[in-house]
Amino acid sequence: MVGTKVTHHMMMSAKDGHYVGGLVNGARIIDNWGDVGTELMVLVDGNISLFLGYKNIKFTAPVYVGDFMEYTGWIEEVGNQSYKCHFEAWKVATMLDRTDADMTGIASTAATACVPPIKCGEAIGSLFISKKDQRGPQRDDFKDAVHPSK
């Protein structure tokens, strides 16, 4: 159970742009971490959980409309009813800057992979599932995991 990891991939669309120049609000990253945390809890304990909060949120690089993002999270600690998870956001590809004079003739759909990926954020999150709502592992590869409350 500790070390269980989930990864979501998505492209930042025009609706994600919040600031001038297509800059995406950091809250969008946090929103996606919430989905990653929910999936983690469903896999390991059969419940969507309650998110208690985040600490040590760090935004380390800008995210723009058209960026392809990877949101990951994994369980670091398990209590009786709580889970401490680590979350990261990585830019894995980005649209090319079509305002650059050297880009003449390149399609408006041009993009490039970020090699290596660029870390755009990280945080620690706490999630909660009451004992009465815990159902145990929901995937075969978690069936042998020892649950602290059982």
CATH architecture entry for 5-133: Roll (3.10)
Q: Could you tell me the residue ranges of all domains in the chain?
A: 5-133
* Backbone φ, ψ for residue 81 (5° rounding): -135, 5
Residue with tokens 């003449």, as numbered in its chain: 104
The pLDDT profile of the chain, 150 residues, written as one tens digit per residue, is: 788 889 999 999 989 988 888 899 999 999 999 999 999 999 888 889 999 999 999 999 999 999 999 999 999 999 989 999 999 999 999 987 644 545 555 667 788 999 999 999 999 999 999 988 888 777 666 655 544 443
C-alpha span between 6 and 127 (Å, rounded): 15
